[in-house]
Amino acid sequence: PGKKLVDAIHKAGLKVIMDVVYNHTAEDANERNLDARFSFNGLAPRYYYRTCGNIPVSENGYNTCAWKGLDEPRCGKCYSNGSGCGNEFRSESPMGRKFILDSLTYWATEYKIDGFRFDLMGLMDVETMTLAAKRLQEIDENIILYGEPWTAGPTPILALAKGMQRERGFGVFNNSFRDALRGSPFGVEENFLMDGGRLGAVKRGIMG
């Protein structure tokens, strides 16, 4: 049924962009059930998830351990939670990266998906995203790739941010340009559409 749906959409002259979430899974958060054997933990305990102990804190990253600063043996062993959903998928791990690349390849080749929108792309390492773009563009040179260049909380990796996508074959949302045009979704502020404000930010958004 899924392939027939995509074919029907294509026949109508439309493209299919698939929303993908590779930044987290259903694993539990922080210190609770860290060794539970379900989802990816059932394959290799702790391997597929960032913890404060399995990845060094980057220059621009954070120690996200719930037990930080406490005389507590669990410090450095709990899940990082930059997704706000209890964990972070470790995209930079060899098998984590393979899973992402293989699944994207499957959707692009078997279902002829025209593009992918990445949820919380900020939690995906730049190398994995670059490799994904290269592989997918070999399948379809016109494939569309873009995502959210932010996180939902602190992360121990150098988060993929606006500007880091340049020359890499994928795009990102420009939330600075968006907010300059119509204001922030988190409050009332000056914006271009309502009162002509923030013209400089609008110009920067247009020029890149």
Reported as a single tens digit per residue, the pLDDT across 56-114 is 444 444 445 544 544 445 555 677 888 988 889 999 999 999 999 999 999 999 999 99
> Given 31, 119, 140, 189, which residue is catalytic?
119
Q: Which helix (H) or strand (E) holds 206?
A: helix 199-207
Max Cα separation, the chain?
Answer: 63
What integer pLDDT is reported at residue 65 of this predicted model? 55
Q: Among 148, 167, 189, 195, which one carries the catalytic annotation?
A: 148
**Is 80 strand, coil or helix?**
coil
119 is catalytic: yes
- Residue 76 forms beta bridges with which residues? none
157: exposed, middle or buried (C-beta count within 10 Å: 0-12, 13-18, 19+)?
buried
Sign of the CA dihedral running 92, 121, 44, 30: positive
- Give per-residue pLDDT as tens, 131-162: 999 999 999 999 999 999 989 888 878 777 77
Global pTM reads: 0.81
Amino acid at position 10, single letter:
H
Three-state SS at 100: helix
Domains of the chain: 2-173 (3.20.20.80)
| Active-site annotation holds for 148 | yes
pLDDT at 61: 45
DSSP 123: G
Q: Which amino acid is at 49?
A: Y
Angle value at C-alpha 107, between 138 and 99, nearest 5 degrees: 85
